Structure 1
Amino acid sequence: MAQQIPAPVPTAAQFANPRPVISTEYCAPYSIILAVVKKLMSVGNFDVIDTNSTVIFEVKRKLMTLHDERVLLDDAENPIITLREQRMTAHHRWNVYRGKSKEPNDLIFTVKRSEMIQWTAKLHVFLANNTEEKMSRETTFGNALIGKDNYKVTIRPNVDFAFIVALIVILEDMNHISERDEKAIGIGVAVANIGLTVAGVEPLVS
């Protein structure tokens, strides 16, 4: 079954070329809005839906594992990526792999906090071929006004929306997006060799 592409959102500004991190399959030529909906009675499990209430992704937390893990599934429940936290790291590091793999050859990117102690949700993202973890420049991921339970993400054209969802999952775990908070926070991401503002986050009004 082909991957469900989210419904378009009208926009004046578009990026000319796709900016894939996970796959060009997740780079729509138009701006899209995705809603991140937390599942009741669970921690770390989400549905990601578009403006037509179509489920685009599902996030499942793996239980009974040494490392904290999440799997991002497509609409047919095929695994797209596995997100795995590295324990005992000062900057709260996550590795993201293709499919269900955890092999070094299948590593796509690594995410870590820019500082050990920080008041804004600022991440550094290193692609797998950036072995020295050098940053090109830091860019804005967006500004967030986080609601109690659910929120929506507006993603620019040709930006990898599966990649953005992966970052949201990691931010959730880092407790920068908390179901107990309702406040404005800054979300920054520095991605080596990718310099652009990619998304904004705000509460989902049901």
Structure 2
Amino acid sequence: MPKNKKTEWQVGDPPISVVGDQFCNPYPMELMVKRKVINFSKDHYQVVDPSGNILLQIDGQAWGFNRRRVMRDPAGFIVLTMRQKGIRLKRKWEVHGGESKDKEDLLFTVQQSSAMSLKTSVDVFLAENSNIKKSSACDFHASGGYSNISFKVFKSDALIAGVGVTHKFTWGSYCKGKYNFRVSVNPEVDYAFIIALLVMVDDIENLC
């Protein structure tokens, strides 16, 4: 969990590679994430760099239980699959590499920190620490979301990524499902991991 004193992940710090080393860059990254509802049950996220090059795309179900979202690279290959687990007061997701459901391909688990808080927050457990009931501490923590205007990801007390909404928040645009995020990823931090967390937190917030 984040402590009162915050630091930031900087150049020279050890890489944070969760999805893959290819998503870690030795310099800060500024990305744009665009969300658009395709129809009543599906939505689409597109991640682009400052030059407009597509880096990642995420498709999946916007409504219903046991939802599934798939992240693809620019060539269309599946990077990871996010699956919501059952009907719970506090939402839980499991993220596997590729299309797998196998335990050995589990990358990380995401558990909503509190079902009653006005600010969405989640605890993140890596595969080797994924038994949430027995774990004493999470590996990462994320909080915020679109309606909170910002979203931050921490490793212990160190900020590893921050997200801001690119325009003034309105419930109209939020409920229409069309809005953009500006994502700042610190050096040597896995941006595919950060984007996956953003999508899952955004999903928890989508009440319209």
TM score, norm. by length of structure 1: 0.72
Equivalent residue number for residue 29 of structure 2: 32
Moved over 4 A (4+): 62-66, 136-140, 142-145
SS at match of 1:126: strand
Q: Deviations over 1:169-206 (max 9, x none)?
A: 10111016x7x7xxxxxxxxxxxxxxxxxxxxxxxxxx
Partners of 2:67 and 2:84 within 8 A in 1: yes
Alpha-carbon separation, structure 1, partners of 2:61 and 2:98: 14
Partners of 2:17 and 2:24 within 8 A in 1: yes
SS at match of 1:154: strand
SS at match of 2:96: strand
Equivalent residue number for residue 159 of structure 1: 189
Letter in 2 for 1:162: A
Alpha-carbon separation, structure 1, partners of 2:69 and 2:63: 12
Q: Deviations over 1:93-147 (max 9, x none)?
A: 0000010011122111000111121111211001111133331577652665534
1:133 to 132, 135, 150: 135
Alignment of structure 1 residues 14-25 onto 2, 5 Å: 14-25=11-22
Moved more, 49-58 or 103-112: 103-112
SS at match of 2:18: coil
Alpha-carbon separation, structure 2, partners of 1:106 and 1:138: 19
Segments of structure 1 that go 5 or more residues without pairing to the other structure are 1-12, 181-206
Partners of 2:18 and 2:190 within 8 A in 1: yes
Larger relative contact order (Cα-Cα within 8 Å, sequence gap ≥ 6): 2
Alpha-carbon separation, structure 1, partners of 2:69 and 2:24: 22
Alignment of structure 1 residues 71-86 onto 2, 5 Å: 71-86=70-85
Letter in 1 for 2:200: I
Sequence identity (%):
27
Letter in 1 for 2:82: L
Equivalent residue number for residue 111 of structure 2: 112
Q: Deviations over 1:64-105 (max 9, x none)?
A: 996200000001010010000011222100000010011122
Letter in 2 for 1:14: V
Q: Greater helix share, 1 or 2?
A: 2
Letter in 1 for 2:11: Q
Moved more, 108-117 or 147-156: 147-156
Alpha-carbon separation, structure 2, partners of 1:79 and 1:54: 18
Aligned Cα root-mean-square deviation (Å): 2.7
Letter in 1 for 2:31: L
Equivalent residue number for residue 49 of structure 2: 50
Segments of structure 2 that go 5 or more residues without pairing to the other structure are 1-9, 142-151, 154-160, 168-172, 174-178
Alpha-carbon separation, structure 1, partners of 2:47 and 2:162: 19
Partners of 2:33 and 2:46 within 8 A in 1: yes
Matched residue count: 167
Equivalent residue number for residue 98 of structure 1: 97
Q: How far 1:44 moved relative to its partner?
A: 2.8
Letter in 2 for 1:134: S
Alpha-carbon separation, structure 2, partners of 1:37 and 1:66: 24
In structure 2, the CA distance between the partners of 1:143 and 1:119, relative to structure 1 (3 Å rule), is: farther
Alpha-carbon separation, structure 2, partners of 1:47 and 1:78: 15
